[in-house]
Structure 1
Amino acid sequence: MEKIPVVQDFSPSFRPDGKFHVRLTVGRFQNLRRLTSWPLIALYFGLVWVQYDGQPWLLFSFAQHRIILFGNALSWHELPLLAGLLIAGASLLFFLAVAWGRVWCGFACPQSIWTWLFIRIEDLSEGNAVKRARQAGQPLRGMRLVRRLAKHALWILLALATAATFTGYFVPIREIVAESLQFQLPVSVTGWLVIMAGITYINAGLVREKICLHACPYSRFQSVMFDDDTRTVSYDARRGEPRANLRKASANRGDCVDCGLCVQVCPVGIDIRDGLQAACIDCGACIDACDSVMEKVDRPQGLIRFASETELQGNKTRFLRLRLTGYGTVMLCAFASVLAGFIDTADLLVEIRRDRGAMFRQVDQNTVCNVYLVKVERVNEAIRRVDVSISGGGQYKLFGPRHIDLTDDGPSWLPYRVCSQNLERPKTELTFNFASESFSAEKKTTFLARSW
């Protein structure tokens, strides 16, 4: 299979002042992008404020050693579930990449979404791309200076709001707002907010496309994941070439009128007509711009479209293929495993350690005791107290707290002594039972009666 060429070096033609100014456009793919991104933005900024029964819907609490996920409390011991969720998400990303290219980057990636927000702020404050390019190089004074300062002020406000919201998923957002209004925000939280706001301001406002090209690893390994049947934003060179301006068109010219709009609307500043490029995020802006031009010059739309190399060569694209099926299978298995894990989460965490100083203690000729350290930690806040008992294959006596209050500040190790007169076997199985009004759990350990 012939590899799809990936252009690494690109030189946008719309750079009057040393940088390119992104021209906003309209069209079906831009509408689809907004339908995808705006709910994600609303979810990001709104979910941090949602509470259920006094608990945030989503909170990674380091102070309480809890993960609150949609009203359900998880312990740090269940962090592998989040790792599984990341694996499932990565599998979904790979599946989409093989099928439709970098559609995640163009329609749902936070870097792209925030880049478009910053571009729109720039367009509203300083004018459209044509105006900004025309004024490039002129002295920065008067209203132009005011507009520039207003743009950066709005960028900073959005960056601070983004940083505060992100921090609110680890520290309750209401605490952050209240302490900020009272100027009592801890230094650590203040420093974190400044760092996160600075990163957002730089990434989405100043470097933008460089993140997609140089910092994002996806742009580097996309050519490995793509195949000849991957549908990605492509220019139909067989139909468009030779390109020519309408005023200088010859009889054998292609449909491309060389207007340059596909370059002007690209948020990463590439020319899609140069072929598949590592910086392309498949946002579809060039498709909408080209379709609008084709409509005006009375040519069929789709000169730039989501198409595979197979389709551009005049053949039919295959959707079902081994690589795509493999990624889809891994994705479904990963999501199923994570779902099963979330259904079977623990409400109570129990840890038991044996006294390492002495494996067993001979009290008298007929009695042997083992010492254990027990730690009980509640995940479900409804569990306030548990009763402790033991069971096993012999006659055991338990010495230690029979009731554990779980409303105290944090769990602690409690000593227990278990004694037995059943010395026939050197090792037997012992079970600690923990029960409350509506919950029960058990933890197995061993009881040693004598050396092997």
Structure 2
Amino acid sequence: MEKIPVVQDYAPPFARDGKFHVRLTKGRFQNLRRLTSWPLLALFFGLVWVQVGGQPWLMFSFGEHKLILFGTALSWYDLPLLTGILIASASLLFCLAVAWGRVWCGFACPQSIWTWLFIRIEDMTEGRANVRVRLEGNWMSTERLLRRVTKHLLWILLAILTALTFTGYFIPIRELISEALQFELSPAVAGWLAIMAGLTYVNAGLVREKICLHACPYSRFQGVMFDSDTRTVSYDAGRGEPRAHKRDAGTDSGDCVDCRICVQVCPTGIDIRDGLQAACIDCGACIDACDSVMVKLNRPTGLIRFASEAQLEQRPSPLMRPRLAGYGAVLTIACSAVLYGFTSTTDLLVAIRRDRDALFTRLGEHHICNNYGIKVESFDPAESLVRVSVNGDATFELYGPAEIDLLENNAAWLPYRVCSQDIRSAMSTLTFHFQGHQVRTSQETTFLAKSI
């Protein structure tokens, strides 16, 4: 394939002083985009409030040193599961890219979803794109000023809600909202919320398409993943050229009437008729707009459509091919590994350390004791009490809490002493047993009877 062009050397319609206004359109791809984006928005704003057994369903708790994914508490030792999830997600993204181009960007990427939300707010408050560009640069009337202030206030409100919700996946959302309403947020949390809200406001409201073109790494390496069989939003030049307005159309004119509506509805401001470009996010807005024009002109739809280079050249273009199958295999393996990993997560983490001040203590001629520090950390909210016992090569007696209350002493170091009179060697094996409600674990250490 030819190199995907990056630089656009024209000004989009509905543009003034470097700013262009996106015209909203309707159609099957815009309906599909909404069917994809609205559930994702509902999950983002809703999951943060979901609790299972009094615990968040999804939470990255740095304070408690655990992650809660889909109701399952994970320790930091289970972080490789996140790696597996990231590999699976990347493989899915690559599968979509090889098959249908940047559909993730156009239909599910947060940058695109929030940009469309901000555009709709702009359309609702300041009017349609042609109205906005006509008034751009004119004297600001009182009504226009109120409309613009309303737009920015709604943008700021949405940005704040986004920042609060995102932070709610790291700090319990109910606690966060309560502290915010009472102005009791710590400076660090308040600063983070301000930064997140500001970035959301700038990215979706002011920068928009420049993120997709200049900041998103995916737009840079997409050309490596595409091939001649990748279905992307494409203009059928063989059918559309030469372009001619309806009143000037001749017998040799193509179906494109050069109405430029495909450019007016593009959220990145490109002209799809110039071919595949790095800024194209395959949202399908130009397809719906062009189809609506074709219907009005009683011409076949599909002048702009999802098509591969091979299809446009009337060559065979199989969807399934070795590269796509390879990414699919990696996706399957990664998903299988993640599912298996969730069956063997760490529910109870135990750490034992020997007292560094004295290797052992002699109480009488045959009575010897060793001191230990024990930390028990539970990642299962159902585990609230753990019983501790010992056994080993000799007869040992345990001095210390026989039961650890995890509600009060979770991840806390507790002192223990183990003594024995039946010592036959300088070093003996000592095993600590920990029994919870549903989990059990053991850990071996050494019992010293003399200096080594």
> TM-score surpassing 0.5?
yes
Aligned to 2:6: 8
Q: CA deviation at 1:328?
A: 0.9
3-state SS of the aligned residue for 1:407?
Answer: helix
C-alpha deviation, 1:172, in angstroms:
1.8
**Distance apart, 1:61 and its partner CA:** 2.2
List per-residue Cα deviations over 1:159-208 (Å, max 9, x = no partner). Answer: 11111111111122222222232232322222211111100000000000
Write out aligned runs for 1:187-266 (5 A).
187-266=187-266
CA drift at 1:236 = 1.2
- Post-superposition Cα deviations, 1:23-60, rounded to whole Å, max 9, x if no partner, equal 00000000000001111111111121222332222222
Q: Deviation of residue 434 (structure 1)? A: 0.4
Q: Is the Cα–Cα contact under 8 Å of residues 14 and 22 in structure 2 kept in the other structure?
A: no
Alignment of 1:130-209 (within 5 A): 130-209=130-209
**Quick check: 1:350–1:375 contact (8 Å CA) kept in 2?**
yes
Structure 1 pair 55–28 and aligned structure 2 pair: CA distance change class (3 A): same
The SS at the match of 1:408 is: helix
Instruction: Output the amino acid matched with 1:243.
Output: R
2:106 corresponds in structure 1 to 106
Offset at residue 302 of structure 1 (A): 1.0
Whole-angstrom CA distance in 2 between matches of 1:160 and 1:415: 47
Query: How far apart, in 1, do the equivalents of 2:429 and 2:94 lie?
Result: 47
Tell me whether 382-391 or 358-367 shows the greater mean CA deviation: 358-367
For the residues of structure 2 that align with 1:313 and 1:369, how far apart are their CA atoms? 85
Relative to structure 1, is the Cα distance of residues 323 and 395 closer, same or farther in structure 2, using a 3 angstrom cutoff?
farther
The amino acid of 1:17's aligned partner reads: R
Indicate whether 1:32 and 2:40 are aligned. Answer: no
Q: What is the CA–CA distance in structure 1 between the aligned matches of 2:225 and 2:360, rounded to whole Å?
A: 59
Task: Tell me the C-alpha RMSD between the 2 structures.
Answer: 2.5
Deviation at 1:402, TM superposition (A): 2.8
> Match for 1:120: what amino acid?
R
Residue 123 of structure 2: aligned partner: 123
The 10-residue stretch of structure 1 (129-138 or 110-119) with the greater mean CA deviation from structure 2? 129-138
* Residues 164/395 of structure 1: CA separation in 2 closer, same or farther (3 Å cut): same
Equivalent residue of 2:16, what SS?
A: coil
Cα distance in 2 for partners of 1:266, 1:112 equals 12
Match of 1:405 in 2: 405
Kept after mapping to 2: 8 A contact 1:366/1:423 = no
Write the letter of the residue equivalent to 1:8: V
Mapped contact 1:4–1:223 kept (Cα < 8 A): no
Distance (whole Å) between structure 2 residues aligned to residue 339 and residue 106 of structure 1: 29
Distance 1:47 1:422, change over 3 A: same
- Provide the C-alpha distance between the structure 2 equivalents of 1:62 and 1:258, rounded to a whole number of angstroms: 56
Q: CA–CA distance in 2 between the matches of 1:147 and 1:198?
A: 21
* Matched-pair contact (CA < 8 Å) for 1:12–1:271: no
Alpha-carbon distance in structure 2 between the residues aligned to 1:196 and 1:30: 28
- Calculate percent identity across the aligned residue pairs: 63
Q: CA deviation at 1:436?
A: 2.9
Distance between the aligned counterparts of 2:212 and 2:407, measured in 1?
A: 48
Q: Is residue 262–residue 287 contact of structure 1 (8 Å, CA) maintained in 2?
A: yes
Query: What one-letter code is carried by the residue in structure 2 that aligns with 1:310?
Result: A
Mean Cα displacement is larger for which, 393-402 or 190-199? 393-402
Partner of 1:312: 312
* Residue in structure 2 matched with residue 324 of structure 1 by the alignment: 324
Distance 1:244 1:444, change over 3 A: farther
Q: Distance in 2 between matches of 1:306 and 1:430?
A: 68
- Structure 1 residues 40 and 112: CA distance shift in structure 2, 3 A: same
- Report if aligned partners of 1:100, 1:231 keep a CA contact under 8 Å in 2: yes
Whole-angstrom distance in 2 between the partners of 1:252 and 1:423: 104
Shift of 1:69: 2.8
User: How far 1:359 sits from its partner (Å)?
Assistant: 6.9
Contact between 2:240 and 2:255, CA under 8 Å: does it hold in 1? Answer: yes
Q: Determine if contact 1:27/1:289 at 8 Å carries over to the other structure.
A: yes
Secondary structure in 1 matching 2:252: coil
Residue 237 of structure 1 and its aligned partner are, at CA, apart by: 1.4
- Contact 2:97/2:222 (<8 A) preserved: yes
Partner SS for 1:352: strand
CA distance in 2, matches of 1:42, 1:164: 15
Structure 1 residues 368, 98: closer, same or farther in 2, change over 3 A? Answer: farther
390-399 vs 334-343, greater mean Cα deviation: 390-399
Residues 23 and 264, structure 1, Cα contact 8 Å, conserved in 2: yes
Aligned length: 449
Q: What residue in structure 2 maps to residue 377 of structure 1?
A: 377
Aligned counterparts of 2:310 and 2:361: Cα–Cα separation in 1: 77
Contact 1:96 1:102 (C-alpha < 8 Å) held by counterparts: yes
Contact kept in structure 2, 1:98 and 1:225, CA below 8 Å: yes
Tell me which amino acid in the other structure corresponds to 1:305.
R
CA distance in 2, matches of 1:360, 1:9: 74
Change (3 A) 1:55 1:310: same
SS of residue paired to 1:404: strand
**Greater shift after overlay, 51-60 or 437-446?**
437-446
Structure 1 residue 214: deviation in Å? 1.0
Amino acid at match of 1:223: G
Q: Tell me, which stretches of 5 or more residues in structure 2 are unaligned?
A: none
Q: Secondary structure at the match of 2:35?
A: helix
Alignment-mate amino acid for residue 440 of structure 1: R
Contact 1:352/1:374 (<8 A) preserved:
yes
The AA in structure 1 aligned to 2:249 is A
| CA gap 1:448/1:119 in 2 versus in 1, 3 angstroms | same
Q: In 2, distance between residues paired with 1:295 and 1:22?
A: 22
**Aligned in 2, Cα 1:154/1:448: closer, same or farther, shift over 3 Å?**
same
- Could you tell me how far 1:115 is from its partner in structure 2? 0.3
Deviations 1:220-246 (Å, cap 9, x if unpaired)?
A: 000011111111111111221111212
The amino acid that maps onto 2:13 is: F
Deviation at 1:142, TM superposition (A): 2.0
CA contact (8 A) 2:48 2:58 kept: yes
Distance 1:141 1:326, change over 3 A: same
Q: 1:389 matched to which residue of 2?
A: 389
Answer yes or no: is the 8 Å Cα contact 1:123–1:129 preserved in 2: yes
Q: TM-score, normalised by structure 1?
A: 0.92
Note if contact 1:5-1:276 (Cα within 8 Å) is conserved in structure 2: no
